Every structure is written in structure tokens, then in C-alpha cells.
Structure 1
Amino acid sequence: MTRREDRMSALSPQKRQLLDHLTAQRERSRPWPVEVVSSDRREGEFPATAGQRRTFLHTRDHPEETFWNMRMGLRLRGPLDAPAMVRAVQRLQDRHDSLRTTFRLDGDRVLQVVAPRPAAAIPIVDLEGLPSDLVTQRMRHADHEEETRPFDLSCDNTLRGRILRVCPDDHALLLTVHHVVLDGWSANVLTRDLFALYDEERGVAEATPEPHLQFHDYAEWQHRWLHSWSRIEQSQYWRRTMAGAPPVLDLTARKREESVGFERGHRTFEIGPAVAEAVREIGRSCGATMFMTLVAAFSVLAARDAAQQEIVIGVPIAARHQSELEDVVGLFANMVPVRVNLRGAASFHELITGVRQTAQDGFCHQDLPIEELLSELDVETPVGYAPVIQVIFALYNYPRAFVELTGIDDEPLSDGPPSEALQIYAPHDVRPDLCIRVYDQLGRTSCRCFLEYNGRALSANRADQIVEDYLELLGRLTADPNAPLTRAFESASRR
């Protein structure tokens, strides 16, 4: 027995308990190493993240569902070198290990299995010589087929695609990636890297540096973090913050059935330049971001329509806490619940200040995966509703990939809304009712927006009314942010 063990054995139970408490407190105060480090392995088995586990299990249990398919369809006009594009896609898969990953169960664990570097099968389909109307029909059919063809994550590549050749100066590129390895930020990285690799293949660009980290490095970090003191502290924070929160925010104006299912609907709208600039300026005056100001305004609408003074809104976050992770393709995105209390907010200015503080606190505790957070809260939600979060609000202003193919003009094949926010938060068969997505992009004074909703819970007319009311209310609140908040409730149209 060592001298230290001798001293420990001589302590009374009370003193030993105090020592254990002080030791735990000291360990808790140590900063958790937030850096993700490279494992230097590029193939083999690695733990799946919490988000990947949830996505894989749902896909396994619903093999026919294509809710998780994330598509990139581009019409490319100009002298495209199609074989060089195929090689670029293959190099993209070689560059990002997540794009050659399958998944398997090991007991109750989900593992991601990174394969040796295979060549992706990207066929070139020749449509040259067909009438233009038949070309359009074939393109739509191919795009629809990509959208509706499911993945088998136990054996399929998580990236697939094809090139449609209309003539030497007209092609369509269709790529589909499963959400289990891709989020919105990653889609931006994927596009940027693909275009850069294509130009490399043609000898018109310098070599693109390899990413320092891979997604499975982050997955191993998260696996360790989930067994750390930092995780315990964040769990305690969320239990305190969400204690007594209202279980439901219902804006649907419909009687809720036990199982509503899911049917995607969407509306596109725009926040004009004058109102968008007013939102930015009011936010700056409150020390808040544009996002916080927009959420505060939407909270007024939601609280009014739901007849609640307190609401919970889900906020997607990029969850890339390290600069080296910005160039990695993977499912990093997480969801943070923001609890908004309108009691005591005399004006829009005051409400923004409250939302700012609540959001900042939540963002400081964003490492806990939403799947783990829901487990910690153990909230009883009425049947037919998604747990905790029924409404999502997202602002996207992360850097966009302003990379162009040399000599090629590209345009999207379809104008449908991205669906990442609803994909991030689909922990159960019941999904959120609606999601508002705002894009504040560099060089644009206005903001392009989507309202994406569950058509089984929300009628099309109700979706239109929400958009109309939000824009009207946003205009009123920004015109006089110091006016009594009750005036906004009284003046805006009732549903």
C-alpha cells in the first residue's frame, strides 16, 4: 500500500466524501479539449455520431422512405469535359471519407465503416439528337428518379449521380447524397471542392489542399465528449432551462389526430431590402444579430396565434467549433431549443434583448446532440406532435461557395427548398409542423425565405396566412421598435 493510500484509508467517511467532491469539482473545472484531432486512419470502423445513429436507424426501419435524400442538380451550359467531371466526382469521394461510408449495427452500437477508396460509378447518359421536349422529359424523369430512389446504408455508396449529355455544350449533373453524411454547410463544401477538382482535372487550376480532418475524427471526439464532465454540465443546463416549458406550440389551426404523417409543402417569400436593413439596424442597436431579431418578431406572431406567453422554437446550428472542421463533409448540424418568454417585454426592443440572452446561453451549450437532449428532458408530448420542438426557425448566412466552373454557366435544375432543417430534427416518426428558413447572402439587400411545412398538419391556406402575417408584423415592429408590444397583438390580423 502506498503512502497516499495509507492516508486515504485513515480518512473518515465524511472527509473522504468531501475529498471526492473537491476532486470532482476540480476535474469539472478543467477545460474539456474541444479540438478534434486526426486519427491518421482513412478506412475502417469508427463510432457513428448521435445524429448518424438516429438517421441510420430511421432509414433501416423505413427503407422505402426518401426523406433523407439531398440532391444537387445543375444544368451546365458550355464545353463541359464530361469524363473529367466523372474523375472529379471520384476524387471528391476519395477526398472526403464520409462519401464512401456505410453503416452497420454492432449490438446496440451503430458503426460507420469507411471503405478503401473505390471509384464512384457516375454514368454518362447520352441524350444528343433527341427533340427538346423529350430531353426536358428525360431530365425531369432522371431528377425525379434520384429524388425517389432510397439508399441502403448497409451497402450503398452515400453519394451517387449521373451526367446527362444533351450536346457538347449542354449537360446536366445530378448528384444525390444521403443526409447521414451531409448537412447544408457540407453541401456547400462539396460543391466548392467538386468544381475545384474539375478544374484541376482539366489542368486550369492548382492542386486543392487535402482537408486536415475527416468526419470520423469528429465522431470519435463526440464519442469521448459524451462521457465527459462537460456533457454532464450541459445536460444539467438544459434540464434547468427547459423545466416547465410548454410542451406544444401549435400554429396549425387544425384538430390534431393521433398520427398525422408527413407530406412536404412549401412557400417562397422575400423580406424586402428596406425591412431587411431595418432588421439589421435594430439588431445592432440591441447588440443582437439579424437572426435574433427575426426570431423575436416571429415569436410575437407565434405567441399571438397560439395564445401563449411562452414558446419554444428550434434553431439549427452548424456545430463546427473548430476552424479545421469547416472544410469537412459530414452531418455536423445540430438543433438547439430556444425558449422565448414574452412576459414582461414591454417593447420589441426589450423582447430582442431577452431573445439575445436566451439564444446566446443556448449556443454556449450546443454540443449536446438533440437526440441526447430529448432523452435528458424526457418530456411527455401530446400524441401527434413532435417532441419539444414543433416549429423551426433558421437563418443561413454561412460562407457560400462562389466557385465557378471555368467556361461553364451553371443553374439549378429545380427551385425547390432545401430540406435540411426538417431532416436535422426528425427524432421520431412525428415531424415538426413547419420551418422558416431565411437566407441572408452576401451581395443581396433582401432576404430570400422558405416556409416549409407538413401538409398533413398545415393547410396551404394556413401556410399562406402565416407568411402574410409574418411579413406584415415584421414591417410594423421594425417601423416602431419601441412601441408597446401589445399593439402588435392588437393591430395584426387574427387568423
Structure 2
Amino acid sequence: MAETREFAASIGQRLLWLMDRYRGSAGALNEPMTWRLRGPLDIGALSAAVDALIERHESLRTAFLMRDNQLLQVIKPPASAGLAPETVCSGAGEQEVLAALEAETGSRIDIGEGPLRIRLWRLSPTDHILCLNIHHLAMDRRSATVIADELAMLYSGAALPPSGWQYAAWAEWQRDRMSGARLAELRHAWTERLQHVQVPALRQVSEAAAETGPEPDCVLGERQVSGLQRLAADVSAGLFAVTLAMFFALIWARTGVREPAVASVFDGRDRPEVADTVGFFEHLVLLRASVRADQPMTDLIAAAQAEIDFAAANGLPLHLLPPAAARLGGPDGARRIDDVVFSHIVCLDEPVEFSGLRLDHVPVSLERTEERFGLRVLFAEYPGQLVGMFHCAPKVMPSWAAGFGGVFSRLADELVERPSATVGRTTLGAGLRRV
């Protein structure tokens, strides 16, 4: 009979656990996956697929325990998820089910018991809503793709390829790698890189001012995106480097900070054995730039790509930086290095196909980003479209971010038309400097 096993939590899990305790709201670290299943659903096959998925991935049956000031992963033996008929609410109205879904995804998962709650609602014999509500300690963005793909394959009866490492094995490998001489080498390299950088200032404002703040989101269309992709290719960079360089230029133009630094979320799957492993691999790293008015935007983009490449190859999580480097200065003193977070994600938006069923994602409201960081900027890259989103913590509204969406859209147009433009000759330098 399989027994419960205990392993030390990974470096990232320890930080996330602290964030959950001290900076999270009730469902702040929930990562729900919700689908509407239209068609004749085989509940027995779905239940068996869920159970097989949980057996395959230890992270989906891993609880967490604090003992002697050490956070432990407690891996439980495989067991049925209990997707039984009593979890199916026959005759429930759609609004009632959607309200129940919102309540489910917004309530805290007791990670001491396990990371996964599963709910299935029945609207009709051919209409169901499935929710896999998973704690962030057990999954990340890549994990969601793995879970969806493998659940669909298991439901259809397909055989899955052999699994790679389990998450606990990777966590042990990471601990060995982030220790001793290698850790000292990384800390020295990052300390040298961060000597003169500054984190952009965030300022507290009244609730009324925060509520009437700018409308920052922006959507770049196919013409703009294809033009920016050509620009990136010309300097051997990716679209992430383009958006990052644009953001650095905005910070320079609005604050005068010539060597800005922002945190960014990176995927830590630096071993091929964990390419399809479910678990929390993401971590925050620091990206910095040196911005000048006479600098061509293409040079800034190339430098941003070099910064991304360095961070990927030398990915020291922020909380492992030496204390002297963990709070970066500004004109008014030291600031948290994760106050400002900039991320760029690629969304392939490929539909999940269940045998004989039509699947639609069910959106849920998760007010959580502002619980973690002071300011987060996220660019989501879709085929032919780039969507920029801007999230502030309550009562935080940096003046330099006013008109974010419009600025990025105009700057994108200028870069497509004049790729050789210098930073100071763009919209930023011409009309928006030092607000």
C-alpha cells in the first residue's frame, strides 16, 4: 500500500506560501480551470480520467505542512477524487450554477488538506460545467495546458506517454543547484548588475482618485503586431523584448529614471524532464535597462532581449538576492524590488477537444493581482493581436502610468513607421516627458 511521503518545498513554493499567508485574500492563489461541456457526457469516463490524472501528477495530491519552521510537501497516495453523482446538481438554473462557481473559485483552498477541489454541475443531460480549482502552489501556466491536454486524452481513452520527473524530484535538483558555490556565483553576478538601477516609484492616492484613474488597457491589432515582429526579427529579438523596451522607455520618459528595473515572471522549467510536469515552476527575476534619449529604439530592444536571455540562463529568484541588493534605491530611498512587475505571455488559445463534446471556457472573476504586487503590467500575445493590461494595488496610482494604453498604441505605430527612431524622438520624448 502506498504511503504518504514528505519532501522540502521548493524555493518558489516557500515564497508563494508566505505571500498566501500575508498578502493574499481568500481565493488569491486559486488557479481554477473551468469548462462548459456540451454534448452527451460520460461521467464514469470523466471520473476515471480525473483519477488517472491525479495519480499521474503528484502535485495534484500534495498538501503542505509547516514543521520546525520548514515548509514541507506532503505527497499523498493516489485516491479517487470522488466525482460522484451527488456532485451533480440536477435541475439547477444557469445563474444559480454560475453563482456557485464564483463562490467556489473565490474561496480559499485549504492547502493543508490538498491543492485540488473538483466540482461538476449539471444544467441538462447534455450541458455541464466542470471546475478544477487548483492552488497555485501545485500548478502554473504551463501546468494548465498539460492538465487540459492530458485530461482530454484520458477521457477519450488514449494512452499517455511516459511521464518525466515528478515535481518533488525537480525541487530537490533545484535546491542542490541553488546552493554552495553556484549560489554565491549567481548572487555576485546579480549584485554587480544591479548596482545603479532604480525601481520606479509608486505613490499612494485616495480611494476616489484610484477609482477615477486612467483606462490603461490597450489592444494592438494585426498590422501593429506584424510590424513589431518584423522589427524584433531585425535585431534577433522576440516580441517580449519589444514590449519590455517600450515599457522601459515609458518609465524613462515619465520619471527620468535612466536605469530602471522591474520584476518579471519567468518559467523555471530548465530541465527537459519537467516539460510536461504539473507543478509551480515560475519565479520572479529582475530585468533592468539603461535608457538614453539618443538611443535608437532598436538598440533598446536588443538590450532588452539580452537582459531576458541573461535572466533565463542565470535565473536567480528575487528572494535569493543578497540583502544589500534586495531593496533598490530611488530618489526618495529604497523600495521593494517586486513593487513593479512586467510580464509577457504567449496565448496560443488552442481549443481543448473532448471526445464527442464541445468545450467552452467559462470566465470567472478573480480579483487577486492587486493583492500581490503594487503594479503589474501584463502583455498577452495572441495570433495577430497583443493585449496590454495594467493592474494597480488598492490606492496605488503612479502618475507616470497615466494614459498607458494610448501611449503604447501610439508608440507601436511610430516604431512600425520609423523603426530607426531614437527614444527621445518618439511620442514619449516629444510630449510626455517628466509628467
Match runs of 1:345-364 below 5 Å: 345-364=294-313
Structure 2: 5+ residue stretches without partners? none
Select which of 395, 405, 416 maps to 1:456. 395
Secondary structure in 2 matching 1:327: coil
Q: Distance in 1 between matches of 2:89 and 2:66?
A: 42
Matched-pair contact (CA < 8 Å) for 1:338–1:362:
yes
Give deviations 1:431-472, integer Å, cap 9, x for gaps.
2312223224xxx2222443333243139x997721221112
- Code of the residue aligned with 1:87 in structure 2: it is A
Shift of residue 334, structure 1, vs aligned partner: 1.4
Asked if 1:302 is matched to 2:302, the reply is no
Match runs of 1:240-251 below 5 Å: 240-246=192-198, 248-250=199-201
Asked if 1:170 is matched to 2:131, the reply is no
Give deviations 1:332-383, integer Å, cap 9, x for gaps.
01122111110375211121122222322222211x2222126462426789
- Give the equivalent residue in structure 1 for 2:240: 291
Shift in alpha-carbon separation, 1:267–1:127, aligned structure 2, 3 A? farther
Asked if 1:406 is matched to 2:355, the reply is yes
Q: Distance in 1 between matches of 2:73 and 2:215?
A: 33
- Code of the residue aligned with 1:107 in structure 2: it is D
Q: Distance in 1 between matches of 2:375 and 2:415?
A: 25
Matched-pair contact (CA < 8 Å) for 2:155–2:355:
no
Identity %: 24
Select which of 140, 143, 152 maps to 1:195. 152
Shift in alpha-carbon separation, 1:408–1:290, aligned structure 2, 3 A? same
Shift of residue 42, structure 1, vs aligned partner: 8.7
Match runs of 1:34-433 below 5 Å: 43-60=4-21, 65-122=26-83, 124=85, 125-130=87-92, 135-154=93-112, 156-200=113-157, 206-246=158-198, 248-250=199-201, 254-255=203-204, 269-343=218-292, 345-366=294-315, 368-373=316-321, 375=323, 377-379=325-327, 387-397=336-346, 403-414=352-363, 426=372, 431-433=373-375
- Code of the residue aligned with 1:249 in structure 2: it is P
Give deviations 1:279-325, integer Å, cap 9, x for gaps.
11111111111111121112111221223222112222111112221
Q: Distance in 2 between matches of 1:60 and 1:92?
A: 28
Q: CA RMSD in A?
A: 3.2
Q: Distance in 2 between matches of 1:236 and 1:161?
A: 45
Secondary structure in 2 matching 1:236: helix
Q: Distance in 2 between matches of 1:398 and 1:215?
A: 24
- Give the equivalent residue in structure 2 for 1:468: 406
Matched-pair contact (CA < 8 Å) for 1:180–1:331:
yes
Asked if 1:438 is matched to 2:380, the reply is yes
Shift of residue 84, structure 1, vs aligned partner: 2.0
Q: Distance in 1 between matches of 2:68 and 2:83?
A: 35
* Range 157-166 or range 342-351, more displaced: 342-351
Shift in alpha-carbon separation, 1:291–1:396, aligned structure 2, 3 A? same
Shift in alpha-carbon separation, 1:397–1:212, aligned structure 2, 3 A? same
- Code of the residue aligned with 1:195 in structure 2: it is A
Shift of residue 400, structure 1, vs aligned partner: 6.4
- Give the equivalent residue in structure 2 for 1:477: 415
- Code of the residue aligned with 1:100 in structure 2: it is R
Secondary structure in 1 matching 2:421: coil
Matched-pair contact (CA < 8 Å) for 1:127–1:167:
no
* Range 287-296 or range 55-64, more displaced: 55-64
Matched-pair contact (CA < 8 Å) for 1:73–1:174:
yes
Shift of residue 62, structure 1, vs aligned partner: 6.9
Matched-pair contact (CA < 8 Å) for 1:394–1:436:
yes
* TM-score, reference length from structure 2: 0.88
Give deviations 1:97-144, integer Å, cap 9, x for gaps.
0111111223222111101112223355444445xxxx2321222221
Matched-pair contact (CA < 8 Å) for 1:196–1:403:
no
- Code of the residue aligned with 1:198 in structure 2: it is Y
Matched-pair contact (CA < 8 Å) for 2:264–2:342:
yes
Shift in alpha-carbon separation, 1:81–1:418, aligned structure 2, 3 A? farther
Q: Distance in 2 between matches of 1:221 and 1:163?
A: 37
- Code of the residue aligned with 1:287 in structure 2: it is S
- Code of the residue aligned with 2:413 in structure 1: it is G
Structure 1: 5+ residue stretches without partners? 1-40, 201-205
Shift in alpha-carbon separation, 1:465–1:179, aligned structure 2, 3 A? same
* TM-score, reference length from structure 1: 0.78
- Code of the residue aligned with 2:74 in structure 1: it is V
Shift of residue 278, structure 1, vs aligned partner: 0.9
Q: Distance in 1 between matches of 2:35 and 2:366?
A: 15
Shift of residue 83, structure 1, vs aligned partner: 2.9
Q: Distance in 2 between matches of 1:275 and 1:243?
A: 36
Shift in alpha-carbon separation, 1:60–1:316, aligned structure 2, 3 A? closer
Matched-pair contact (CA < 8 Å) for 2:229–2:239:
yes
Q: Distance in 2 between matches of 1:266 and 1:327?
A: 38
Shift in alpha-carbon separation, 1:126–1:176, aligned structure 2, 3 A? closer
Q: Distance in 1 between matches of 2:166 and 2:151?
A: 17
The structure with the largest alpha-carbon Rg is 1
- Code of the residue aligned with 2:309 in structure 1: it is Q
Count the aligned residue pairs.
425
Matched-pair contact (CA < 8 Å) for 1:309–1:343:
yes
Q: Distance in 2 between matches of 1:123 and 1:345?
A: 66
- Code of the residue aligned with 2:195 in structure 1: it is A
- Code of the residue aligned with 2:5 in structure 1: it is G
